[in-house]
Structure 1
Amino acid sequence: MTSVTVTTSEELKEAQQASIDEIFVNGELAGKLKNARKVTALGAVALAAIGAIAVTAIPSGGASTLGLVPVAALTGVEIATIIFVVTIGLTTVIALFRDYDAEFTKDGAKFKKKR
């Protein structure tokens, strides 16, 4: 069983892509992931709205962030969480919670690959 400890979203993405069995997340990233877990329970319309922001944020130079307020109202997810999900990648967040069992503590988070 392989395990790794990560503190950045880049390290998290690498661990996911490498199919690491256990991923320990420390620091601020763990708290952001705990909040991002809400996104995985959203319906198709809400996910499409977040996806639209993700697709347009970079090419528009951030101008699409004006659309965050209505999306936050639609989804019930905080703006900071939406920005985090857009930054790390919607598919990354959904795949993480689909492929791993998550356990959050006051010290961080543990993601264990589902069998």
Structure 2
Amino acid sequence: MRRAVALLGLLGIVAAGVSLSVLPATKTTAASAGPRTFLIPASDGYGVADCISTASECGKIVANAWCEAQGFGKAVAYGVADKADFTGTVSRPAATEQPLSITCGG
């Protein structure tokens, strides 16, 4: 009886191993190849506005990190968002809370 149970267990393990080797591995897919612009509130609480609003090396690093976290390559452009980017929103932000813009490329 023990041999039968052990043999069934062994066959189950072998069958599972074979099925896993036959199934295709899942691949992560990158975001769309076209550029995409993200609007980030200036008061997000992470201090992103301090770096993005200035054209410093800090802004470039933060913008590239944001794009990589969203599945894109590097940031194409970043800075304070143009009013045309967020017109028609429900609430109008104050001049001090103008959103930030990060455009990510493929």
TM-score scaled to structure 2, two decimals?
0.29
Structure number with greater Rg is 2
Higher helix share: 1
TM-score scaled to structure 1, two decimals?
0.28
